[in-house]
């Protein structure tokens, strides 16, 4: 028994030494979190997978970057269908709170514009990340802590803000011009339908009278114009069917009962035949 005792002690000491070494190695492994974002829910609703194509692609690229850095991804944060023009995003704010623990070494994003499309927000977010001891890492851009890396980060962030603002200006310009020419640059109001015409191989998006709801809207205007009924009073037959807004890919058909009284009459109708406003009645 005494002869075997030293062997037992050696094994015990070896086991404790190995355990301590493993703990030390685990403590020195860099930790990373990844942040994913898509601007609209349509980007996520483009495949049988509920995340679509962009989010999994971002996740895969960020995971590969973490492996290249020798870091372990310990947590993932995501904003699905959120614009980067504002920092008030649930996923982003949750990540900033998590970083307060001080044990994260890298925050990995696919591109700088996933984090922010506003230069002021970008600066504030990066400062918040650095205060926790973590470093922002982009898969697509070399934005390290060197002078050239900081310069590139500033340039890419400014470009992201320019892209967002320029796109908004172009959309506004297009919708305004469409309205000026008698088009309807928004969802067709009740009584009309959004339709697509084809002229000389060109797709024209316009509106047309809804054969189901149009007559009901016409009757509503006629009754109101008679002076016998107010907008807040029910019609002569409260149990009669009421028109409902046509369904769209984003939302189902909604009952007119769910809409504020007089909303249909208050909205201007823009179409090829002219403009109709409530004050014209």
pLDDT digits (tens, 9 = 90+) for 107-116: 999 999 898 8
More confident residue, 21 or 144: 144
Same domain, 197 and 136: no
Distance, CA of 137 to CA of 145 (rounded, Å):
10
Does position 158 have pLDDT exceeding 50, yes or no?
yes
User: Is 175 contained in some domain?
Assistant: no
Same domain, 158 and 197: no
Rounded to an integer, what distance in angstroms lies between the CA atom of residue 102 and that of residue 87? 21
- Is 38 within the bounds of a domain? yes
Pair 35, 138 in one domain: yes
What are 3-10's contacts with CB under 8 Å, separation 24+? Answer: none
Q: Which two tokens stand for residue 224?
A: 């109101």
Together in a domain, 121 and 18: yes
pLDDT (0 to 100) of residue 41: 56
Give me the pLDDT at residue 272, please: 40
Q: Name the average pLDDT for the chain.
A: 77
Read off the pLDDT band of 277 (50, 70, 90): very low
Instruction: Please tell me the distance from the alpha carbon of residue 62 to that of residue 55, in angstroms, as a whole number.
Output: 11
Question: What pLDDT, on the 0 to 100 scale, is given for residue 92?
Answer: 94
* Rounded Cα distance, 10 and 68, in Å: 38
Query: pLDDT tens for residues 44-64?
Result: 445 445 456 789 999 999 999
CATH number of the domain bearing residue 43 = 3.40.50.1390
Residue range 230-266, pLDDT digits in tens: 765 554 555 555 555 566 655 566 655 444 444 544 4
**Residue 222 placed within a domain:** yes
Task: Count CB atoms within 10 A of the CB of residue 106.
Answer: 22
Q: Check residue 96 and give its pLDDT.
A: 95
Q: What is the band of 70 on the pLDDT scale with cuts at 50, 70, 90? A: very high
Please report whether residue 227 resides in a domain: yes
Percentage of residues in the chain with pLDDT exceeding 70?
A: 67
pLDDT at 172 over 50: yes
**Tokens coding 160:** 């992201």
Pair 89, 146 in one domain: yes
Q: Is the pLDDT of residue 86 over 80?
A: yes
Instruction: Identify the CA nearest to 63 among candidates 112, 108, 95.
Output: 108
Same-domain status, 124 and 249: no
Would you say residue 187 lies in a domain? no
Tell me how far apart the alpha carbons of residues 182 and 230 are, in angstroms, rounded to a whole number. Answer: 30
Backbone angles phi, psi at 50, to 5 degrees: -65, -15
One domain, residues 269 and 140:
no
Out of 92-96, 145-149, 169-173, 174-178, give the one with best mean pLDDT: 92-96
Residue 255: its pLDDT value, please?
53
Whose tokens are 């007119």? That residue is 256
Mean of pLDDT values over 2-24: 53
Show Cβ contacts of residue 276 under 8 Å, excluding neighbours closer than 6 positions.
268, 269
* pLDDT of the residue at 274: 44
177 within some domain: no
Tell me if 129 is assigned to some domain.
Answer: yes
Look at the chain and report how many structural domains it folds into. 2
**Segments forming the whole domain that contains residue 34:** 5-164
Return d(Cα 108, Cα 126) in angstroms, integer: 12
Q: What is the largest CA-CA distance in the chain?
A: 113
Res. 72: pLDDT tops 50: yes
State whether 157 and 226 are in the same domain.
no
Most confident residue range from 72-76, 166-170, 228-232, 271-275: 72-76
pLDDT surpassing 90 at residue 102: yes
Is pLDDT larger for residue 157 or for residue 270? Answer: 157
CA distance 150 to 161: 17
The answer to whether residue 229 is domain-embedded is yes
Residue 124 has pLDDT above 80, yes or no: yes
Last residue of a domain, one of 164, 179, 209: 164
> CA 255 to CA 242: how far, in whole Å?
7
- The tens digit of pLDDT for each residue in 184-232 reads 777 888 888 888 888 887 877 788 888 888 898 888 888 888 888 776 5
Residues 160 and 212 in one domain: no
The verdict on 156 and 203 lying in the same domain is no
Quick one: pLDDT band at residue 103, thresholds 50, 70, 90? very high
């Amino acid at each position: 028994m005494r002869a075997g005792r030293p062997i037992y002690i050696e094994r015990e000491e070896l086991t404790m030494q190995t355990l301590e070494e493993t703990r030390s190695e685990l403590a020195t492994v860099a930790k990373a979190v990844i942040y994913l974002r898509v601007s609209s829910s349509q980007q996520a609703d483009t495949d049988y997978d509920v995340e679509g194509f962009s989010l999994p692609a971002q996740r895969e690229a960020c995971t590969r970057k973490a492996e290249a850095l020798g870091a372990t991804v310990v947590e993932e944060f995501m904003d699905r269908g959120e614009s980067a023009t504002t920092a008030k995003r649930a996923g982003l704010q949750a990540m900033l709170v998590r970083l307060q623990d001080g044990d994260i070494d890298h925050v990995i994003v696919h591109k700088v514009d996933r984090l922010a499309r506003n230069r002021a927000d970008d600066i504030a977010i990066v400062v918040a990340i650095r205060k926790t001891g973590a470093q922002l890492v982009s898969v697509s851009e070399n934005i390290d802590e060197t002078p050239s890396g900081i310069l590139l980060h500033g340039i890419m962030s400014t470009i992201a803000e320019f892209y967002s603002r320029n796109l908004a200006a172009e959309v506004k310009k297009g919708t305004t011009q469409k309205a000026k020419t008698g088009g309807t640059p928004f969802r067709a109001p009740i009584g009309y339908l959004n339709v697509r015409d084809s002229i000389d191989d060109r797709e024209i998006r316009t509106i047309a009278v809804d054969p189901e709801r149009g007559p009901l809207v016409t009757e509503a205007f006629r009754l109101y114009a008679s002076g016998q009924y107010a907008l807040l009073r029910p019609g002569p037959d409260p149990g009669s069917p009421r028109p409902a807004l046509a369904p769209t890919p984003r939302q189902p058909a909604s009952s007119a009962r769910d809409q504020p009284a007089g909303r249909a009459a208050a909205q201007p109708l823009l179409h090829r035949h002219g403009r109709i406003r409530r004050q014209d009645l």
